[in-house]
DNA sequence: GTACCTTTGTGCTGTAAAACATACGAAAAC
DNA sequence: GTTTTCGTATGTTTTACAGCACAAAGGTAC
């Protein structure tokens, strides 16, 4: 069982935007839950009643496309807010979210978030910045996934995972251990091709694989492959 | 020459968020310019000093990808604000914008926009909603462009153009006349394939072509093709 | 332990779409 | 008025990749 007090210490204060009073309001109405590995956090079509905050763990946000193939569109790392886009756009969720690994997530009623934004322009600015950044990334992703060839997409995904989740102490082994299917869903390819192309990367000494662990051996080369397409 | 007074009448007041005072501030610092067909409005890497408002005309926002192939990521129709994402995200432009056809565009200094948002939460909310909606569309676009086959992508683009720009009085002829290259850049395909696939759509009586004019003959079928992939 | 299932790895085949080639009419440049 | 350029159109070739099929390895249940 996670105690709210423990979360309290970790909860980011939305870019310093909240007053002590508002902060307490948020804490009072906040719920905390733990999700197991691969557990669904919300599904496509769900009503986005709460904003979520990833206290610890890792989360993938994905869309199911044609023929059941999933595409991971975003990921969240601790500590980070997520799951608010649909509510702001006045839509139901068009994506689903699931835990990459065991994750602790706090939820805050969207109604309260809206109230706070209306009283606190700095908080509004916080979300404007986050949304604008995410939109830029999404646009870049659209072009990368459509125009790059399979090797370029895989190289990009590996760098994306390093960027998003960081590395272990050696600075080269990715902090996340995704299944081959997750890699495929990030890179817009079939699992077969993710496995195959990872293998050729190993042969070319670009990466080293140990089960699901991915160690980057030649980042410069990966960047080149990613850039060239 | 366009007079500011004419623009004034058309300028949307940002969802009714502005006070009369703020409105006048905007008008005082606003610049208006006309862009010719295909003229560049801003380029990738430019510094986004101004927010833009499309008073009349049509605009495409696109990214140049691998091998000089462009991908249209968004379009703007009159009257609509655009070109603010990069400034909000504190980045230089990662996209370029050009006029589909002759367009009149007003520009407002981003500094003023930021000031107004900080004083006016409702204005912040206006942009949060717009950004959140755009992000949802961008995510959907990512999946559609990557997973659908060429016919599905083309069908989707035709419906997207109808959605975005509407039709002539007959309710079936698209209000925009894009070049085959524009269609290709919307649909993530080569110009050759855009031409070829448009031709087969004509043969199948789904659409009728008259130069660059596109008339939708069987919207239900197009929707089915778009959905199936 | 055995049985079962999931994940991973590899080879083969068919095909969608890019690349290439070529042609033609219309607009633009001279 | 001629030439050049550009947009459109269509046929052919090549290739990257998805879709199997199948085997091995690792987990989990009993």
Note whether residue A56 is domain-resident. yes
Q: Which residues of B touch A91 (CB under 8 A)?
A: 133, 136
Percent of chain A whose pLDDT exceeds 90: 83
**Are residue B27 and residue B94 in the same domain, yes or no?**
yes
A73 Cβ under 8 Å from any chain B Cβ: yes
Phi, psi at B18, each rounded to 5° = -90, 145
**Are residue A118 and residue A196 in the same domain, yes or no?**
no
B111 Cβ under 8 Å from any chain A Cβ: no
Q: Considering Cα of B109, then B114, then B119, then B121, what sign does the dihedral take?
A: positive
Question: In this structure, what CATH number is given to the domain that contains residue B39?
Answer: 2.60.120.10
Rg (CA), chain A: 19
Note whether residue A128 is domain-resident. yes
CB A46 within 8 Å of CB A132? no
B190 touches strand C (CB under 7 A): yes
Last residue of a domain, one of A132, A157, A178: A132
Residue A120 CA distance to nucleotide C16 C1' (Å): 53
**Are residue B125 and residue B164 in the same domain, yes or no?**
no
Q: What's the pLDDT at B10?
A: 63
**Are residue B220 and residue B128 in the same domain, yes or no?**
no
Residues 122-161 of A with CB under 8 A from B: 122, 124-125, 127-129, 131-136, 138-148, 152
pLDDT tens digits, residue range A199-228?
A: 999 999 999 999 999 999 999 999 999 998
* Strands B58-64 and B70-77, sheet pairing: antiparallel
Find the domain containing B168 and state its range. 148-228
How many domains in chain B? 2
User: Best interface-test mutation with A: which of B132, B149, B228 has the largest number of A CBs within 10 A?
Assistant: B132
**Are residue A173 and residue A216 in the same domain, yes or no?**
yes
Residue that wins the pLDDT comparison between A81 and B15: A81
Whole-angstrom distance, CA of residue B7 vs CA of residue B34: 12
Whole-angstrom distance, CA of residue B163 vs CA of residue B172: 11
**Are residue B96 and residue B13 in the same domain, yes or no?**
yes
CB B172 within 8 Å of CB B215? yes
pLDDT per residue rounded down to tens, chain B (229 residues): 555 566 666 666 676 778 888 888 898 999 999 999 999 999 999 999 999 999 999 999 999 988 789 999 999 999 999 999 999 999 999 999 999 999 999 999 999 999 999 999 999 999 999 999 999 999 999 999 999 999 999 999 999 999 999 999 999 999 999 999 999 999 999 999 999 999 999 999 999 999 999 999 999 999 999 998 7
**Are residue B118 and residue B188 in the same domain, yes or no?**
no
**Are residue B63 and residue B89 in the same domain, yes or no?**
yes
Note whether residue B172 is domain-resident. yes
**Are residue A119 and residue A176 in the same domain, yes or no?**
no
pLDDT tens digits, residue range A129-183?
A: 999 999 999 999 999 999 999 999 999 999 999 999 999 999 999 999 999 999 9
**Are residue B131 and residue B152 in the same domain, yes or no?**
no
Contacts of B93 (CB under 8 A, 6+ apart): B42, B43, B44, B45, B46, B47, B48, B83, B86
Q: What's the pLDDT at A9?
A: 60
Residue owning tokens 């890792």: A58
**Are residue B163 and residue B59 in the same domain, yes or no?**
no
Note whether residue B113 is domain-resident. yes
Residue B83's nearest CA partner among A1, A151, A171, A135 is A135
**Are residue A25 and residue A118 in the same domain, yes or no?**
yes
Note whether residue B143 is domain-resident. no
């Amino acid at each position: 069982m996670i105690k709210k007090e423990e979360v309290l210490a970790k909860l980011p204060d939305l870019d310093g935007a909240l007053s002590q009073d508002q902060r307490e309001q948020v804490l009072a109405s906040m719920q905390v839950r733990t999700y197991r590995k691969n557990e669904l956090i919300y599904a496509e079509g769900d009503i986005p009643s709460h904003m979520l905050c990833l206290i610890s763990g890792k989360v993938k946000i994905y869309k199911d496309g044609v023929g059941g193939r999933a595409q991971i569109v975003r990921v969240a790392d601790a500590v980070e807010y997520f799951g608010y886009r649909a509510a702001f756009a006045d839509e139901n969720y068009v994506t689903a979210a699931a835990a990459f690994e065991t994750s602790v997530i706090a939820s805050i009623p969207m109604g309260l978030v809206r109230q706070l934004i209306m009283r606190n322009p700095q908080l509004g600015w916080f979300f404007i910045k986050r949304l604008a950044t995410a939109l830029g990334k999404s646009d870049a992703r659209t072009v990368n996934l459509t125009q790059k060839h399979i090797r370029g997409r895989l190289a990009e995904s590996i760098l994306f995972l390093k960027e998003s989740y960081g590395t272990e102490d050696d600075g080269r082994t990715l902090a996340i251990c995704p299944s081959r299917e997750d890699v495929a869903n990030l890179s817009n390819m079939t699992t077969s091709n993710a496995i195959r192309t990872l293998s050729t990367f190993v042969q070319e000494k670009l990466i080293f694989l140990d089960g699901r662990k991915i160690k980057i051996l030649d980042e410069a080369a990966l960047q080149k492959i990613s850039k060239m397409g």
